Structure 1
Amino acid sequence: MDRTRLQHLLARERAQAQRRCPRSEEAYARAGHLFGRVPMTWMNKTAGSFPRYLDTARGARVTDIDGHEYIDFCLGDTGAMAGHSPAPVAEAVQRRFAEQGGATAMLPTEDAEWVGAELTRRFGLARWSFSLTATDANRWAIRLARAVTGRPKILVNSYSYHGSVDESLIVVGPDGHGVARPGNVGAPCDVTLTSRVAEFNDLEQLERELAHGDVAAVLMEPALTNIGIVLPEPGYLEGVRALTRQHGTLLINDETHTLSAGPGGCTAAWDLEPDLLTVGKAIGGGIPAGAYGLSAELADRLLDRDDLDLVDMGGVGGTLAGNALSVAAMRATLEHVLTDEAFGRMAKLSERFEAGVRAGIDAHALPWSVSRLGARTEYRFASPAPRTGTESEAAGDAELEDFLHVHLANRGILLTPFHNMALMCPDTTEADVDTHTEVFAAALAELAG
């Protein structure tokens, strides 16, 4: 690739973004009381020199304060996989908060049992508890795993994503052993004291790490997502389950992003059998929500322990977790929006998106790849597709990625800012997908010169 041409095109697109979005640029310049000038520092991950500011969002559309409408394939990095403000969720939240009240009364509602039963139907786990984020669901699942096994360490895959869980910020180093993930902020201790790591799709490495006998649980995504989609090779997930059982280690499936695979995520789609499962973001339809599920056997073992404080200060739970508002949102989302039928439509749109991207790649004989996981599609600057998180991380090209993102945004299309991920929601249309195909092809033609 002609890097000089790429730099010229990127500069042109950034300048165009400034001309198009003066109100967003001004709002960013005025935000002096915010750490990093944004509500959360990751909002600075943008292909331009400032973020676009939100005005309205409905379904698969977002409008910024400069009046530009975007087809949204980012969808809150999965948080809005149900679409923005779906009517059934908006109605349930309005009813619970404005009419019934009691969102933070610290009392259960009957909605909670409905949601638990529906999550059991989808994922198979028998018992459920709620959080406000998938990060907290993972933290609490880890605590329960340590308590029931008496073991100190957690094993994750290199470059997997489990939110800001301290134990997960470990990667495989050049010598094949675990090291802190670059850029980790304020780690409480050396991550190798709490964690072990193995490459995704590497059963030999996993077995080597489990053989130490100190791993309470393997916390994993059934397919890597936040470093580009890395799909499991045939037999890999079955091997993980066999090895964890052989070594007395629990298995936690984090389905927060991989829920895109279907109504019950990869766990249902691929007949997986985890001991615990965590999920968040999408199940609340835009309202903060998360959950973790346990097998009946594991739940009984924990509840039979009179030495564990599961009620007060034992480290599992939060005052707002399971509040009536978020539970009402979860019920509305699961019952009326992210239905089995909706997932079927979303997957077909994702197939169409994948085909459009592949056609663009093939037209220029680019050494890139595209992978799909149900309603989620992603392209990487490597061919064949990376088979581990470390390979996928090495395939990154920040300058090229920024060009594609800002080029698309300037023409009314948003992708997830952290990588080249596109997600479908129930309101996404074939026309939306085809618009991306056309704009993506035009961007590749400009790069080719």
Structure 2
Amino acid sequence: MTGIDRSRVEALVKRERDRYHADHPGSRRVHEQAGHLFGRVPMTWMSKWVGGFPLAYATAHGNRVTDVDGHEYVDFALGDTGAMAGHSPRATVAAVQRRIGVDGGITTMLPTEDAEWVGAELTRRFGLPRWSFTLSATDANRWAVRLARLVTGKPKLLVFSYCYHGSVDETFVVIGPDGLPASRPGNVAPAVDPTTTTRVAEWNDLAAVERELAHGDVAAILAEPALTNIGIVLPEPGFLDGLRELATRYGTLLMIDETHTFSAGPGGMTARDGLRPDVFVIGKAIGGGIPSGAYGLTEEVADRVHRITAAGSADIVDVGGVGGTLAGNALSLAAMRATLGEVLTDGAFAHMISLAGAYTEDVRRVLDETGVPWSITQLGARAEYRFTRPAPRSGGESAAAADDLLDEYMHLFTLNRGILMTPFHNMALMCPDTSPADISYHTETFTQAVTDLLA
């Protein structure tokens, strides 16, 4: 906030909120009439949109969303990664229509040929040879954590402060102000104190990781290869290799969650940076908008699971897995096959990453020219600015840079001018339909937002 008058920000938020209310009577009506919905939204996170009520949308195609009031938006939120392929990509829509129509059968608890194709494609991209499907990455993480405990015989998980792995109970642990592990602020009624199930370290601190592993009770290190839901916090050189070496040394599995970092390229950071996980998780984007998730295992881990279950000490058929009878359904697999095979291709990623690079450079130039002490970080096809400089190197540092008032201002300013940013943070994601003109328009809008702050 250095150099920015707080009262100025408050006045600008009021100006933008008044404009939002005046321009969106239809969205407000939808919200006010939603009396049967908990929080007046279909899913509680939708309340996070600024302005007092969320937009109600009518149509979405490619990287464009049109709301019920007829306003069109350039969409950089893209369903917080769920629509990385763009809204309703043609190949995915066609595959879903065939499955619902001509082919018939959405869920039967029977395999289709698409399953093996998708498994083989995930192996090609990420390297792990054995795959199973869920309805979300949260589902995949929950079950993979249990498999890790099963094959290692160890009870605990190691995560990083302010990491994000969906709503997995064991991951809501941070390092508190006193330097000790604590349940993450706002954690909703955990069944048990997560500090009893989980060890925690700061991102980019290998010494802290080793101290936690030295207790000998950690089944798996669960990590995104870059923190994403607390801003983008990149790994420092050698950090990810260090995690692999420490996991091997202490008999712990390395579990990589690329649900968000898939933006790094066709094979995520795992392929790009030569990572070697024992367990791998992905979700959201691979289904083109249809609920989808998957976890992958090395041959060694898969064999260990099979040996244990064959001995009768664990049942992964009747009581195993998360996602229930709908997991691995024919509709999700048809969508994954089309999205991976025809939409999120190598060429598409090259286009998306190039545009994210242009976006990042434009934002950085505006910050440098105006002297605003913020930073921006790129991870492949996504980029995010944070209200601090230099860029944070840990989850704790990034959390300390949060500013709800500035967030509201920047989101309302861009939204009122036809740009959707991710409501939970300041992430912009490119999809195959994003264009250079969209980047230029964002640069123009971002420049004006910062200029108004400094006026």
Counterpart residue number, 1:358: 364
2:249 equivalent in structure 1:
246
Amino acid across the alignment from 1:322: G
Give the one of 17, 26, 35 matched to 2:38.
35
Do the aligned partners of 1:177 and 1:197 also contact (CA within 8 Å) in 2?
Answer: no
Aligned residue in 1 for 2:381: 375
Corresponding residue for 1:161?
164
Alignment of 1:320-399 (within 5 A): 320-399=326-405
Name the aligned partner's letter for residue 365 of structure 1: G
TM-score normalised to the size of structure 1?
0.99
The DSSP-based 3-state class of the residue aligned with 2:326 is coil
Which of 148, 173, 181 is residue 145 of structure 1 equivalent to? 148
Shift in Å at residue 314 of structure 1? 3.3
Indicate the residue corresponding to 2:197 in structure 1: 194
Partner of 1:60: 63
Secondary structure of 2:368's aligned partner: helix
Of 404, 428, 433, the match for 1:427: 433
Q: Secondary structure at the match of 1:256?
A: coil
> Residue 66 of structure 2 aligns to which amino acid in structure 1?
T
Q: How far apart, CA to CA, are the structure 1 residues paired with 2:79 and 2:131?
A: 25
Q: What amino acid does structure 1 have at the position aligned with 2:305? A: L
TM-score between the two structures when normalised by the length of structure 2: 0.98
The Cα of 1:430 is off from its aligned counterpart by 0.3
Q: CA deviation at 1:317?
A: 5.2
Question: Distance between the aligned counterparts of 1:319 and 1:196, measured in 2?
Answer: 32
Matched, 1:440 2:443: no
CA distance in 1, matches of 2:450, 2:433: 27
SS at structure 1 position matched to 2:291: coil
Deviation of 1:311 (Å): 1.0
User: What are the residue-to-residue correspondences of 1:53-202 with 2, within 5 Å?
Assistant: 53-202=56-205
Structure 2 residues not aligned, in runs of 5+: none
| 1:47 to partner: Cα distance | 1.8
1:218-267 alpha-carbon deviations (Å, 9 max, x no partner) = 10000000000000001111111111111100010000000000011110
Residue 426 of structure 2 aligns with an amino acid whose one-letter code is N
> What amino acid is aligned across from residue 347 of structure 1 in structure 2?
I
Instruction: Determine what percentage of the aligned residue pairs are the same residue.
Output: 63
Separation of aligned partners in 1, 2:50 and 2:368: 25
One-letter amino acid of the structure 2 residue matched with residue 123 of structure 1: F
| Residue matched to 2:213 | 210
Task: Indicate if the aligned counterparts of 2:119 and 2:131 stay in contact, CA closer than 8 A.
Answer: yes
**Equivalent pair of 1:143/1:316 in contact (CA under 8 Å):** no
**Matched letter for residue 68 of structure 2:** I
Deviation at 1:315, TM superposition (A): 4.6
Residue deviations 1:264-318 (CA, integer Å, cap 9, x gap): 1110010000000000000000000000000011111111222221111135552
Using the TM superposition, name which of 136-145 and 170-179 deviates more. Answer: 170-179
Secondary structure at the aligned position of 1:99 is classed as: coil
Unaligned runs of 5+ in 1: none
C-alpha distance in 1, partners of 2:107/2:90? 23
Question: Using the alignment, how far apart are the partners of 2:221 and 2:403 within structure 1?
Answer: 30
CA offsets, 1:141-161, max 9 Å, x none? Answer: 001000000111111110011
Tell me by how many angstroms 1:26 deviates.
1.1
- Conserved 8 A contact 1:140-1:317: no
Q: CA deviation at 1:176?
A: 2.1
State the distance in 1 between where 2:208 and 2:217 align.
Answer: 15
Do the aligned residues in 2 keep the contact of 1:162 with 1:254 (CA within 8 Å)? yes
Equivalenced residue count is 449
CA distance in 1, matches of 2:99, 2:306: 31
Partner of 2:36: helix, strand, or coil? coil
Q: Deviations over 1:313-346 (max 9, x none)?
A: 1355521000000000000000000001110110
User: What amino acid does structure 2 have at the position aligned with 1:401?
Assistant: D
2:95 and 2:353 map into 1 onto residues whose CA distance is 26
Give the Cα–Cα distance (whole angstroms) in 2 for the partners of residues 317 and 92 of structure 1.
22
Amino acid at match of 2:381: A
